[in-house]
Amino acid sequence: MELYSQLSKYIKREYNRALSTENPHSYVFALLLLQRRMASSIYALLKSLKRRKRKCENLLKDPKTLEFKLNPLRYEDEEERKRWEIEKKIESLTPSQTRKELETEIKTLKELIEMAEKVLESEEETKLKQLKKILDKIGNEKLLIFSEFKDTVQYLQEKLKKWGYTVCTIHGEMNREERIQAEKDFRENKQIMVATEAAGEGINLQFCHLMINYDIPWNPNRLEQRMGRIHRYKQEKNVQIYNLVVRNTREGRVLLKLLEKLENMRKDIGDRVYDIVGEIYTEKKLYKLLEESLKGSLKEEKIEKSLKIPKKLLENIIGEQLATKVNYTKIEKIRENAEEKRLVPEYLEGFFQKAFQMEKWKYEKKGDTYKIKTPSELRRIKKELKTTYTVTFKKEKADEKTEFISYGHPLFETLLKYVEKEHAKSLHRGSTFKDPTGRYNGLIWFFQGEITDGNNETAGKRIFGIYDNGKACKEVDPIIIWDLIPEKRKTKNQPLDKEKVEKHAIKSLQNYKKEIEKDRERKSKIKKEYGLRSIKYLITLSQEKISNYNKRLEKGENMELPLKEEEKRLEYYKEKKEELIDEIRKEKTLKISMPRFLGVIDVRADPTGEDPNIEKIGMELSMEHERKQGRNPKDVSNQNLGYDIKSTSKNETRYIEVKSRKNETNIQLTKNEWTKAKRFQDKYWLYIIYNATTNPKLIKIQNPTKKLKPTKKEEIKYIISPNQIKTIKGLTPKCDS
């Protein structure tokens, strides 16, 4: 920090002298450039100090001072090669006028050069040490490093090669063909690319998802272009950006606050923040703030106030995101609903076991782990499958050697395809089941319905169950099959009215379409009202820039490149506007396809099953009890979720299975109910009502799979005796909690 401290004193002294000259802006900008190069790398600073010292020494020999005037904001619009030429001219400008002033400045510069050389020799530069840490962390991943200055790029290239890394570069002095070749070299051969902003001009770097900003541009537009380089355009991986800023420096305080603001915005609106940095923070505002930092009097409150984003401006630019308020209550309900209906691993594991047993394929099971030699039948469907797998259906058991297998895993997905292909005809022929609850006695048909949009993409897909008891049809949740017991029996030869059932399936699919239409209408309204407004705002800003560039071009300024780039950007915005309009129209255009018949089952009601009148008494008593306790109970018994009541309060959710009996007899839990109880644990309650028609007694058991041991298992039923229920420690009827 000694070097930084002495450099700051030098810059502050020269800054105060510059203010008393006739052309203070050019001198001030020269000092700002020196500060920027220090923030980039000690090597870049050293190069500038040497050039500045050489200029001062030449002035001692030839006192004729060449005045070089410029507008720093206009200079920033120049192409990189031109910008560097200008920087070399202005970095050595000095307000020193007399021989004594020049000699004093040369002496100071010599001391600063010696200090910089010592830091470089020691390799103790803070950012260089941080770079080493990042490289150790990322391993062999490809990495893109950005810097504003060619000197820093060359310095890093030499260091990285010395450390044993393969490196290539792109900078503004390379022509287009050389840049394209460098991109290819990076893609195919090299691990690291060190580049200036020139890497963004027509070069595709989306195959890389790790990036280091070795320095932070003081021009917001260049910051926008740089940080958007690997974020946009179909980036498939999660992008990681490392910003190297030295905290305890004057400009570091400003830049860190800027990055903090951008990161907070990114959390709110996503990566789109990188498209609007230049609109939110103007060059003029940022330069003014950084110039104030030279004086050493810039306070934290001033930085915070200057970088605060006006709400109205943000609404104009990103109205779509701001308009969509986050409904955290709704999100929590969606998460809870997904957890309630999620297919538990036990069912996937059971499917896997039965499929292998049916095909006489072998596996080795040890605890929760399966060792599998992939069947040749599956490898014929998907050649990329490995020859052997070690898998588990329990996520917490997975590790480096054992893969977690579920939906999306290539082995499981291929198994699904195989079973559907080989056994679809069996599904069509149908099967026979018994309903242990005694509620269903008839046919249950299964159809798959699909909704597509104007892009011919699936907007929704769902399996429907249609129950036909011979008199009427009604929709039932297809997961009802979990509670049915397969049984071998002959069925009556009766004609099946498939056409009648299909009409009900179509009606169910139409209702499903209405659900999707409602959601699509809401989303399209947001996109239309705010998305289009956002793009129109960007188009207006771009048109204003083009108009300004054309005026400067007419005055003889070299504006061809920035004008060309802005015209490309305007064209991009216009294309996006038309794409959004077309997207809104297509997303609202929904159509249904004919439901696809999957299969049908014949269900026989178990005559020893539950008495619906007795069950009704139990449900009414349980619902009333929940209301008295201040909870809000909802009857979900017809949804076959593995529980009958979902009861909620501010601090609690209970999943309640109700078992009502005329006398004190055995309680039967289906496999689905038992499995759900194991999943929800303390949230799952078993409410038992004995003597329902005479002297009802409510017994409540929390987490029944932990406290009860079934005395008998029959197919998918778990039998529990009344004696066991009575002996549970601490259990009392009609308790009030």
Q: What is the CATH number of the domain that holds 397?
A: 3.30.360
In a domain, 318, yes or no: no
Q: Is 101 exposed, middle or buried (0-12, 13-18, 19+ CB in 10 A)?
A: middle
Summary count for the chain: helices (H), strands (E):
26, 24
Is 235 part of any domain? yes
In a domain, 731, yes or no: no
Least confident range from 77-86, 256-265, 473-482: namely 77-86
Does the pLDDT value for residue 178 go beyond 50?
Answer: yes
Q: Do 170 and 110 share a domain, yes or no?
A: no
pLDDT for residue 624 is more than 60: yes
Q: Is residue 214 part of a domain?
A: yes
Query: Is residue 78's pLDDT more than 90?
Result: no
| 220, 278 Cβ separation under 8 angstroms | yes
Instruction: Please name the residues in contact with 613: beta carbons below 8 A apart, sequence gap of 6 or more.
Output: none
Domain presence at residue 672: yes
Q: Return the DSSP state at 219.
A: S
Sheet with 210-213, strands from edge to edge, namely: 167-170, 192-195, 143-146, 210-213, 240-243
Same domain, 589 and 474: yes
Q: From CA 612, how far away is CA 660, in angstroms rounded?
A: 10
Is residue 569 domain-shared with residue 673, that is, in the same domain? Answer: no
Mean pLDDT of 570-575: 88
User: How far is the C-alpha of 169 from the C-alpha of 161, rounded, in Å?
Assistant: 12
Secondary structure (3-state) at 442: strand
Lowest-pLDDT range, 61-75, 224-238, 323-337, 655-669?
323-337
> What's the CATH code of the domain at 298?
3.40.50.300
189/104 same-domain check: no
Domain contains 487: yes
Q: For helices 42-61 and 24-40, what crossing angle results, to 10°? A: 140
596 Cβ neighbours under 8 A, 6+ residues apart: 447, 448, 449, 450
Q: Is residue 20 part of a domain?
A: yes
Q: Look at 49-53, 116-120, 639-643 and tell me which has the smallest mean pLDDT.
A: 639-643
Indicate if 673 and 620 belong to the same structural domain: yes
| pLDDT recorded at residue 376 | 93
Tens digits of per-residue pLDDT, 573-595?
Answer: 898 889 888 988 998 999 999 99
Whether residue 295 is found in the same domain as residue 391: no
Q: What percent of the chain clears pLDDT 70, i.e. is strictly above it? A: 82
Residue 634 sits in which domain range? 610-726
Higher pLDDT, residue 20 or 101: 101
Total domain count, the chain: 5
pLDDT tens column, 383-427: 889 999 999 998 888 887 899 898 788 999 999 999 988 887 777
Does 365 map to a domain? yes
Average pLDDT, the chain: 81
Over residues 167-175, the mean pLDDT reads 87
Please report the pLDDT score of residue 713 as a whole number.
57
State residue 304's pLDDT score. 79
Q: Are residues 175 and 277 in the same domain?
A: yes
Please identify, among 606, 623, 641, the residue that sits at the C-terminal boundary of a domain.
606
Domain boundary among 568, 587, 606: 606
What's the confidence (pLDDT) of residue 318?
Answer: 47
Of 62 and 43, the structure prediction assigns the larger pLDDT to 43
DSSP 8-state symbol, 581: H
Percent of the chain with pLDDT over 90: 28
Which of 7-11, 501-505, 524-528 is the least confident region? Answer: 524-528
- Same domain? 436 vs 580: yes
Q: Annotate 346-380 with b (16+ C-beta within 10 A) or e (fewer).
A: bbbbeebeebbeebebeeeeeeebbebebbeebee
CA distance linking residue 458 with residue 593, whole number of Å? 11
> pLDDT tens digits, residue range 91-147?
777 878 788 888 888 999 999 999 999 988 887 788 888 999 999 988 888 999 999
Q: What is the pLDDT of residue 592?
A: 93
Same domain, 249 and 129: yes
Among 92-106, 208-222, 299-313, 465-479, name the one with the lowest average pLDDT. 299-313
> For residue 374, what pLDDT is reported?
94
Q: Please tell me whether residues 503 and 602 are part of one structural domain.
A: yes
233/238 Cα distance (integer angstroms) = 13
What is the CATH classification number for the domain harbouring 715? 3.40.1350.10
Strand partners, 402: none
pTM: 0.52
For 250-284, give the DSSP string: HHHHHHHHHHHHHHHHHHHHGGGGGGTHHHHS-HH
pLDDT for residue 278: 61
Do 82 and 203 lie in a common domain? Answer: no
Are 217 and 206 found together in one domain? yes
Show which of 407, 428, 449 is a domain's final residue: 428
H or E stretch at 58:
helix 42-61
Taking only the tens place, the pLDDT of each residue in 474-524 is 999 888 887 888 888 887 777 778 889 999 999 999 999 999 998 888 878
Conformation bin of residue 730: beta by default, left when phi > 0, alpha when psi is -120 to 50: left
